[in-house]
Amino acid sequence: MDLANLFTNLMWVVYALAFPFLMVLTLGFLTSGSYGDVITSYDYYGLTMMIYLITNVATYSANSFMEERIIKPNLRIVHSPVRPWLILFSKVAATFVFCSVTYIVAGVILHLVAGVNYGGDKTWALLLIMLLANFLFSALGVMVCTAFKQESSANQLISLLAALFAALGGLFFPVEGLGQAFVTLSWASPVKWIFVACLRIVYDGDLSVLLPTCAVLTLLSVITLLISIRLFKGEDYL
């Protein structure tokens, strides 16, 4: 039900596929003279825009959790003999599958059309980090819903967090130009070390960052899910 709802929502499908493609082509063309031959503008934005989209995955899980048109089906699930953690996990899993499929398709299109470099034979490592980050932000959207109980409030906070994480992570502009204090602060954003790990894998072939990055993402996902289960009381949110 949750997965079908996501894939049959034309607006979400078009946004997930078209937004990264159009943004990367536009920004890559406009800044093509500002990058070198090793890392082209299309490479840079092909990576940063995919990470930025992953930070916005939380909005999909929030809508899947609390969207008005699926409140009644959700209420039926809440009052059925189903363990609460299964209800939450189904929302996270559906969002994870939907975003994984659409973003992988978008990435393949960007690679074929714009020649975006996703690591060559190290693509599997980049993909693993992206998938774990996707799961984390899917869980984050559900956690925010269980805390705020209203879709509008949850989406406002999620949008704010996504923009803040992305800005601190250096997806919009290099944070190094803002001083050492801002550089230090930027490491508080999970997007920062996801971005740095991806850069090291793609351009240095450095897999030493893979295990610690995956371990931290997995730990944060588990913590986020446990908090959601702790806060969840079906009828209060659906």
Give the pLDDT of the chain (238 residues) as one tens digit per residue: 667 777 777 887 888 888 888 888 888 888 877 776 677 888 888 898 889 889 888 888 777 766 555 555 555 555 555 566 677 788 888 889 999 999 999 999 999 988 888 888 889 999 999 999 999 999 998 888 888 777 677 778 888 888 888 888 877 777 766 777 777 887 878 888 898 999 899 988 889 999 999 999 999 999 999 998 888 776 554 4
| 57 close to 134: Cβ distance less than 8 angstroms | yes
The pTM of the full predicted model, rounded to 2 decimals, is 0.85
Burial class (CB in 10 A: 0-12, 13-18, 19+), 238: buried
Please state, in angstroms and as integers, the Cα–Cα distance from residue 34 to each residue in 39, 42, 46, 113, following that order: 10, 11, 15, 20
Number of structural domains in the chain:
1
The alpha carbon of residue 150 and the mean position of all alpha carbons in its chain are separated, in whole angstroms, by: 21
Q: In the prediction, which pLDDT does 237 show?
A: 46
Give the structural domain span for 80. Answer: 2-237
